[in-house]
Amino acid sequence: MTLSARAITSGAAWGLTLLTLGTLGTWGGCKSAEDRYRDYAPQGQAPVVETLPPPLRSCTLKPRPRAVIIPVPGAPLEVHLVRFYHLCLGKHVALVRLSKAQRSLVQVVLEYEQYDVNGRHAPRRNTLPITVGFSPQTVRYRRIHWREGRVNPDERGLRVRLATVDFADGKRWIAPPWPKSPAVVPPKKRVPGPLAPVDKLHDSIRGATRSLRKRRLKMGKKKAPQIIKKPD
């Protein structure tokens, strides 16, 4: 092989190598993190609008729970109660709708209170954090499950309200204190003891004796002779 032919062959091989490296670079092997984020970042996504979920399977409609949303003045998000019903074996569920955020949000915390519909024990409170983004057009649904059983019989009451909201700019909105609960445990009734009839009779006799003594004193004052002084 002549010198010129050898030079042409070497140049062709070097050109093929450069072409291969250029092709690999074009395919993204040397892309920076900013380039990859620009390629995979969502561009102009529409707001999240969830569809209304269907009711869960229920064994019976009774006993039907009680549920209500506690309105909070100045809340930056609307909370609505869609439905609430009994599932099975003392388990209940409530479907809550969250929408119409006034600003961009990154977290919402719901607080709910479970109480005995007969008021036999104090209510209990729990929180439900929702760490997702909210825009003014976002609509989301969340289910709240609770159960009554042997420990908490007749705990079919539920009150839900908005507790805290974290904005995208780092600020936080906090709800005022809870309003007075309608599920306050009533005062304990005095249970009569085995000697209650005797105590009642004793109090009655004591009251009659006191009344008779007052009457005698009153009659004694009326019968007391008047002393008339003679003039000197």
What pLDDT, on a 0 to 100 scale, did the predictor assign at position 198?
Answer: 66
**Sheet architecture: strand order including 139-147:** 78-86, 91-99, 139-147
Parts of the chain with a pLDDT under 70: 1-45, 61, 182-196, 198-199, 221-232
Q: What is the pLDDT of residue 230?
A: 58
Nearest 5°: the CA angle 34, 37, 40 is 150
Q: What is the pLDDT of residue 106?
A: 95
On whether the 44-203 domain is CATH 3.40.50, my answer is: no
Give pTM, 2 decimals.
Answer: 0.60
Query: How is the chain split into domains, by residue range?
Result: 44-203
pLDDT at 17: 58
